[in-house]
């Protein structure tokens, strides 16, 4: 068995003659969190629906856990959990009843059903509102209930479409924790989102969608290197000395850019933090901060689409 849980080759979806998803290649490994990022309408949801066999493909091939979603959708849907964008539940039913319906559809043995529902709800901290009608739930609770459904399903792959949209920071944080929990349980997670910085923190790899194509794919650092240029940006805060002058001549250093009062962004092609610290201290400066700057996906994204626009 290969290590990839999802494998798409030349996946194509045409609406009329316009391609919504334009011959993309995608592979997702077992146990990783993969982010599908891009602006609204870039083809993320369409891709997801094709992976699940919920919409027909216009070309290309997909393999999900060894099954073809076009010909064997039941097998795929038995093993893949899906949390749709703005998920809905039956408001007049309780959380338990909602999950019970899904459990019946999944044909979970009746003896296990109750235990599995409770266990799933406990894992998303909804155990104390099991018998409350879903109408009383907040948006964050509904999203968590959606995660509980995936947990109950014991899915091998979880596909989450815009899971954090419309959530407050605290709810987002909790949800991302639960997504990490899924990963710990060995589930491969596919997240689609346009909220970059939040998703960046949990994703192992990301794919940047643009107009139905995958523009970039890889880890966040790889993408940053590709788009923003290679280099280790670091932030230096020091006082009492002329920092650019002191740092001049360090091997591999490329540029020093002021970042506000008493702070500089230093870019080098290798790790130079130790040298920088030594030089500043030797020069008698007071070093107050020396930090590696994480490349921000937001920056990558903005820069990439700016360049794409210019190129067009």
**Which residues are at the interface with other proteins (CB under 8 A)?**
45-46, 49, 52, 54-55, 70-75, 77-78, 80-92, 101-102, 104-107, 146, 149
In the complex, the smallest distance separating the C-beta of residue 276 from other proteins, rounded to whole angstroms, is 51
Minimum CB separation of residue 287 from other proteins in Å reads: 54
Nearest approach in angstroms of CB 49 to other proteins is 6
- Considering only CA atoms, give the Rg of the chain: 24
CB closer to other proteins out of 63 and 149: 149
Strands 232-239 and 205-210, how do they pair?
A: unpaired
**Biggest CA-to-CA distance, the chain:** 74
Q: How far is the CB of 90 from other proteins (least distance, A)?
A: 6
Closer CB to other proteins, 97 or 299, in the complex: 97
Residues across the chain: 312
- In the complex, what is the shortest distance from the CB of residue 99 to other proteins, in angstroms, rounded to a whole number? 11
**Smaller CB separation from other proteins, 71 or 184:** 71
What beta strand segments (E) does the chain contain? 4-15, 18-29, 33-37, 59-64, 80-83, 157-161, 188-193, 205-210, 213-218, 232-239, 253-258, 263-268, 286-292
The dihedral sign for the CA sequence 69, 78, 153, 180: negative
C-alpha 295/C-alpha 26 separation (Å) is 24
Which of left, alpha, beta for 272 (phi over 0: left; psi -120 to 50: alpha)? Answer: alpha
Residue indicated by tokens 């999900």: 64
- Nearest distance from residue 98's CB to other proteins, in Å? 9
CA 123, CA 119: separation in Å to the nearest integer? Answer: 6
In the complex with other proteins, the residue whose CB is nearer, 155 or 266, is 155
Closer Cβ to other proteins, 91 or 168, answer by number = 91
CB of 65: closest distance to other proteins in angstroms? 13
Nearer to other proteins, 6 or 247 (CB): 6
Specify the residue, 86 or 221, whose C-beta has the smaller distance to other proteins. Answer: 86
User: What is the separation of C-alpha 198 from the centre of its chain, rounded to a whole number of angstroms?
Assistant: 8
């Amino acid at each position: 068995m290969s290590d990839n849980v999802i494998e798409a080759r030349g996946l194509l979806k045409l609406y009329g003659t316009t391609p919504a998803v334009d011959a993309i290649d995608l592979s997702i490994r077992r146990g990783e969190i993969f982010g599908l990022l891009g602006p609204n309408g870039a083809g993320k949801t369409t891709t997801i629906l094709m992976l699940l066999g919920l919409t027909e493909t216009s070309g290309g091939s997909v393999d999900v856990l060894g099954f073809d979603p076009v010909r064997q959708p039941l097998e795929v849907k038995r093993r893949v959990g899906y949390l749709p964008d703005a998920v809905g539940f039956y408001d007049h039913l309780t959380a338990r009843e909602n999950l019970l319906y899904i459990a019946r559809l999944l044909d979970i043995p009746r003896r296990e059903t109750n235990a599995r529902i409770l266990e799933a709800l406990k894992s998303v901290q909804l155990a104390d509102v099991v018998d409350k009608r879903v109408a009383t739930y907040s948006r964050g609770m509904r999203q968590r209930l959606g995660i509980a459904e995936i947990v109950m399903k014991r899915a091998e792959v979880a596909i989450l479409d815009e899971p954090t949209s419309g959530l407050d920071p605290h709810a987002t944080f909790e949800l991302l924790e639960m997504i990490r929990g899924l990963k710990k349980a060995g589930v491969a997670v596919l997240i689609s989102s346009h909220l970059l910085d939040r998703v960046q923190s949990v994703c192992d790899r990301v794919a940047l969608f643009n107009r139905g194509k995958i523009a970039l794919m890889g880890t966040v650092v790889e993408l940053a290197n590709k788009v923003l240029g290679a280099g280790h940006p670091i932030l230096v805060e020091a006082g009492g000395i002329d920092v650019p002058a002191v740092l001049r001549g360090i091997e591999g250093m490329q540029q020093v850019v002021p970042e506000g009062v008493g702070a500089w962004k230093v870019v080098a092609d290798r790790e130079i933090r130790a040298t920088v610290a030594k030089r500043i201290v030797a020069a008698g400066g007071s070093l107050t901060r020396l930090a590696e700057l994480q490349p921000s996906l937001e920056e990558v994204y903005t820069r990439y689409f700016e360049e794409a626009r210019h190129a067009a």
